Amino acid sequence: MRDRLLGRPGNPDVDLVVEGDSAEVARILYEAGISDHAPVTYPRFGTARVQVSGVPIEIVSARSESYDPASRKPSVRRATLMEDILRRDFTINTLVESLHDPGIRDLTGRALADLRDGIIRTPVDPETTFRDDPLRMLRAIRFAVTLDFTIEASTWRAIEAQAYRIDLVGEGPRVVSAERVRDEFIKIMMARRASRGLELLREARLLIRFLPELCAMVGVTQNAWHAHDVWHHTMLALDRLDQDASLSVRLATLLHDVGKPVTRTEDERGVHFYDHQTVGAEMTREMLARLRFPADLISEVSELVRLHMRLGEVQPDWSKAAIRRLIREAGDHLDQLHALARADMAAMEGSGTPTDLEQVMKRIAEADAEMHVRAIVSPLDGTEIMECLGIGPGRVVGEAKEYLINAIIEGRLSAHDKEAARRSLLAWRAGAAS
């Protein structure tokens, strides 16, 4: 209803609220031949799911629910339609349309006005709304960002007052699960103005409850290459991303400098952040694991953070071999690194002379066309290496493979010459031992 009135694409699913037993209504629809298949019921939540003419319909018993201050599980009871409306998160989500008497009904008397004026407001006292489900505080910010609305003053004050209940880092009970926080955070990160959402999360003191490492970036001044502190530079970088940027690129952009506050040093030569990319990659793994992100996404984002400076480090005098080593190190992340590096450099806003990234990508494309670096494998497999060097399984086998691959990249070895590879490997081993 909300999205339809705003002219936005909405969810094709239909929600039907009934004052009664949702499972019974679903059964009647099926037995009358209206539903395409037998209903699926969820007794614990008082819902049933059917399909009519291919359209999914969720039938929900009007209910009231609230969360105990120290529990993740809500207490649910049957309620009237009005009670159901008033227990919802915001007025803009309370509009209903009757099947018997067509026309939009604004039972709170404020929903249509708030929708028109761009206001996020709770249907009852906001302290009660957020006490019933603290996740609604994150939803308030998500709707404010995605709809470009303003959070009403008393609603904002209630968020500030109850922000402590969204806590994934303290010693207190976990009222809201990490997974629920993560899902709202993702929606904020995918919004057109994700930076506004992050600013609101920070100002409301919600962000410090689940990603305090980001708050540590505020006020951390940088070197001559940056006109802004780490936090504001990061927000600018997010704004510079393309709208179709993936979640992994957005998260990597948000976290690319998260290691700077803990690595900052200053001497007579200026401000330094030695190895902040490596420190940041490890912090990224910890932060995303806290929010229960999938392991493959954690690995991808942390690797982007570790490599985020690599394209900017390329110099005009770099050899083709150096470019090829960069290609191999970046692996499948080159396009993502390019997107991240462009946003990072655009956020420097005239400080220093940034690397010509388009020229760098051109050189990478040329080098990769001449030799498909990412497809290179060692001429000798693990067994052959162990036989050649007279060793057993272990770290040296991997180092030997990398040595041979690097020799191919530098043009010192043919990819298919096993005998030359053995001779080169023996010389490498002898040199390492001397």
DSSP string spanning 359-372? HHHHHHHHHHHHS-
Q: Is the pLDDT of residue 72 over 60?
A: no
pLDDT computed for residue 70 by the predictor:
61
Residue count (the chain): 434
pLDDT computed for residue 276 by the predictor:
96
pLDDT computed for residue 348 by the predictor:
83
Asked if residue 298 lies in contact with residue 306, where contact means CB atoms within 8 angstroms, the answer is: no
- What is the per-residue pLDDT across 276-293, written as a single tens digit (0 to 9) for each? 999 999 999 999 999 999
Asked if residue 206 lies in contact with residue 141, where contact means CB atoms within 8 angstroms, the answer is: yes
Asked if residue 344 lies in contact with residue 308, where contact means CB atoms within 8 angstroms, the answer is: yes
pLDDT computed for residue 17 by the predictor:
84
Q: Is the pLDDT of residue 52 over 90?
A: no
Q: For 224-248, what is the mean pLDDT?
A: 91
pLDDT computed for residue 366 by the predictor:
87
**pLDDT, mean over the chain:** 89
In this structure, of 15-29, 240-254, 298-312, the range with the lowest mean pLDDT score is: 15-29
Q: Is the pLDDT of residue 77 over 70?
A: no
Q: For 113-123, what is the mean pLDDT?
A: 96
Output 290 or 223, whichever has higher pLDDT.
290
Distance CA(146)–CA(136), nearest Å, equals: 15
- What is the per-residue pLDDT across 128-168, written as a single tens digit (0 to 9) for each? 999 989 999 999 999 999 999 999 999 999 999 999 999 99
pLDDT computed for residue 76 by the predictor:
65
pLDDT computed for residue 251 by the predictor:
98
Q: Which residues fall within 8 angstroms of residue 305, CB to CB, at 6 or more apart?
A: 252, 255, 256, 258, 259, 277, 280, 281, 284
Q: What is the pTM of this model?
A: 0.85
Output 22 or 63, whichever has higher pLDDT.
22
Output 370 or 308, whichever has higher pLDDT.
308
pLDDT computed for residue 71 by the predictor:
61
pLDDT computed for residue 290 by the predictor:
97
In this structure, of 38-47, 109-118, 319-328, 343-352, the range with the lowest mean pLDDT score is: 343-352
